[in-house]
Amino acid sequence: MTQKNNSMLLENNTNIQERRYDIDALRVIATILLIYFHTAMIFNIWSVYHLKDNELSLEAALFVSFLNIWHMPLFFLLAGISTYYALNFRTKDEYAKERVKRLLIPLIFGILIVVPPQVYYERLAWWSETRHSPINFNGSYLEFYPQFFIGIYPNGNFSWHHLWFMWYLFFISLIALPLFIKLKSDNGKQRISRIASSVENGRKVFFLAIPLIIVNICLRWIFPDSHNFIFDWAAILHFLLIFIFGFLMVADSRFEDSVARNKRLALFFGIIIAIFTLTFDALIYLNSNSALIVNIGNNFAVLITIYIIGTGLWSFCVWCWLIAFLGYGRKYLNKQNSFIKHFSEIALPFYILHQTIIIIVGFYVVQWEINILVKYLVITTAALFITLIICEVIKTNKITRFMFGMKVIKKKM
């Protein structure tokens, strides 16, 4: 029998004999972190967000920037790993059909039902001067909903907000599918074997960061992160490469053997580079008006040098953290856990819902005259529990299970 268990973005279907509990655990940890990541965005001094406190925090910005290094790449890596297992017992057409059911349908539902309240509360937050789109609205939600379809966010209202990830994964899954089918063939397995042989010794697994470095250096200055898909090709190719690397990691045991041997060094590099880059960013922010920073900003040669070095280090850092998570995850998390098993089933609806709950709760909490840390703890705790409760309700009904991308359980006759 094949055991299927929904998880974050539905990439959690593996043969029971090949069950990788560490993959489930890493996905669950990353999913729960979304609550803390997106709440920190409310207080982030560097990035725009749909709701902002008028008192912002450098510490929140550093936390967000650190998670930005590896958080979303980890989801794509895990999705690639799970795709390898899924194609062990699904045909090409079956896999594509699952992508539609598990990603496209919930995405459409989420855009129509889950995202509009986020835009509505942003429109109500007239006092939030640093929010992403400072368009005001004073009516009820029923009055606002028809206006959700007017214009494209942020200049209008229509948006997919955090659900960009579902479209990107859907697109990348189908784009990579022909390649994966070829790699599953005998000739493809030979190619994988040759690649595995070339990186199995020493530190050569780090060389896989080279394509990431090239893509990001060449494209990030043209296509900065936007999540609008059409003009986001640096991010798309970045995630596509990581998705493919995830597939390769479990296609030949020598990849993971190399990861296991290099996990400590990868963690060391990841920590050192993250500290260096975050410290650099913080110093630039704290000294933004100094003569030195102004002179650097006016010197194109210096700027391009900083861009190339910084982007290259960041790309290498991403791969180091992914190696570390995969290596240490396999060592310490590859065992059954009742909480991980339970949360895996509701991970996708959790993802779809969490930011809407954060925005609604945050809308009221940021207006309180209290310390930022207290606001953060109140929002994260309330959002976590409310989202979990709603997810538990969703999984009790066949219709809601289908709309949120969960497997619809058929009753036994």
- The domain total for the chain is 1
Average pLDDT of the residues in 290-304: 81
Categorize the per-residue pLDDT at 411 as very low, low, confident or very high, splitting at 50, 70 and 90. Answer: low
Residue 285 confidence (pLDDT): 87
Average pLDDT of the residues in 135-144: 95
Average pLDDT of the residues in 121-140: 92
Categorize the per-residue pLDDT at 286 as very low, low, confident or very high, splitting at 50, 70 and 90. Answer: confident
Average pLDDT of the residues in 387-400: 96
Is 109's pLDDT higher than 50?
yes
Categorize the per-residue pLDDT at 177 as very low, low, confident or very high, splitting at 50, 70 and 90. Answer: very high
In a domain, 179, yes or no: yes
In a domain, 413, yes or no: no
pTM: 0.93
Is 4's pLDDT higher than 50?
no
Categorize the per-residue pLDDT at 293 as very low, low, confident or very high, splitting at 50, 70 and 90. Answer: confident
For residue range 13-66, list pLDDT tens digits in order.
Answer: 434 446 789 999 999 999 999 999 999 999 999 889 999 999 999 999 999 999
More confident residue, 7 or 325: 325
Average model confidence (pLDDT) across the chain: 92
In a domain, 409, yes or no: no
Percentage of the residues of the chain whose pLDDT score is greater than 70: 95
Residue 13 confidence (pLDDT): 43
Residue 82 confidence (pLDDT): 95
Is 336's pLDDT higher than 50?
yes
In a domain, 151, yes or no: no
Tokens of residue 246, six digits: 């995830």
For residue range 73-102, list pLDDT tens digits in order.
Answer: 999 999 999 999 999 999 999 999 999 999
Residues spanned by the domain of 372: 8-115+160-403
In a domain, 233, yes or no: yes
Average pLDDT of the residues in 325-338: 94
Categorize the per-residue pLDDT at 412 as very low, low, confident or very high, splitting at 50, 70 and 90. Answer: low
Residue 388 confidence (pLDDT): 98
In a domain, 327, yes or no: yes
Tokens of residue 122, six digits: 């942003």
Categorize the per-residue pLDDT at 302 as very low, low, confident or very high, splitting at 50, 70 and 90. Answer: confident
In a domain, 382, yes or no: yes
In a domain, 231, yes or no: yes
